[in-house]
Amino acid sequence: MTISQGLDLRAHDVKVRAPGGRTILSVDHLKVPAGTAIGVRGPSGAGKSTLLYAIAGLAGDVSGRIAWGDTDMVALTHGARAAFRRSKMGFVFQDFLLFEELSALGNAALAASYVHDSGARQAICERARQHLEDLGLGDNRRKVDSFSGGERQRVAIARALANDPPVLLADEPTASLDRPTADRLVDDLVALTRSGGKTLVAVSHDPALHERMDRVIDIIDGNLAAGTPVHA
């Protein structure tokens, strides 16, 4: 199985504005070295998810520079940002966003549907199958409509990793899960991230998740909190 190394994140003079023009996130400077696991915490509405969407190139009105490696997401066209996300980023969404009628493997290998090369499709399917097994879902042909919340989240993690992305982004990956299941998921996510040399950014209210990260970024009222290290 090939391994994609993480990408450095460098953000400078970033501002994200709401449709009315109000600034909802401001980041003067932030650097996350490749291969680092970063937690993002703060009160509800502070701008945590806005930061995640901004660095993914999904936020609307953004100025400044948000660079993954040599690629500035702000400077790219909409189509180029989408292509970059497909090839370089994996997402773990809070609400899973799985297709109920598909099996665990069908969901985890979904990226293969967008690839024309048969060899690349086969590689994605094999990685999806391997990650599901690593996450304890060896019976990967079962449809996800019968899965528990923890099992669904494991499928979502396998899907995020199946394309071997150098960057992994997670939005409240342990939300609504019981403590033992959440702890196992954090262990799985961190282990898979570090073994693959990925760069992980995880938004969460979960202190147990933050304890496992290499560094934690605090956001309050749309700004990096005083004392938050800009170099992870």
Provide the CATH number for the domain around residue 33: 3.40.50.300
Please determine, for residue 211, whether its predicted confidence score (pLDDT) is greater than 90.
Answer: yes
Q: Is residue 4 part of a domain?
A: no
Inter-residue contact 104 to 147 (CB < 8 Å): yes
CA-closest candidate to residue 46, choices 213, 175, 205: 205
Q: Is residue 230 part of a domain?
A: no
- What local confidence, expressed as pLDDT, does residue 150 receive? 84
> Position of tokens 């690593």?
134
Q: Is residue 63 part of a domain?
A: yes
The rounded distance, in Å, linking the Cα atoms of 33 and 125 is 29
Distance, C-alpha 172 to centroid of its chain: 10
Please determine, for residue 3, whether its predicted confidence score (pLDDT) is greater than 70.
Answer: no
Which residue segment(s) compose the domain that 14 sits in? 9-98+165-224
- What local confidence, expressed as pLDDT, does residue 16 receive? 97
The enclosing H or E element of 109 equals none
Q: For 77-116, what is each residue's pLDDT tens digit?
A: 999 999 999 889 999 887 788 999 999 999 999 999 888 8
Largest Cα separation within the chain, whole Å, is 50
Q: Is residue 57 part of a domain?
A: yes
Q: For 168-183, what is each residue's pLDDT tens digit?
A: 999 998 886 788 878 8
Q: Please state the domain count of the chain.
A: 1
- What local confidence, expressed as pLDDT, does residue 182 receive? 83
Q: For 121-170, what is each residue's pLDDT tens digit?
A: 999 999 999 989 988 898 888 899 989 888 888 899 899 989 989 999 99
Structure-model confidence comparison of residues 157 and 228, the more confident one: 157
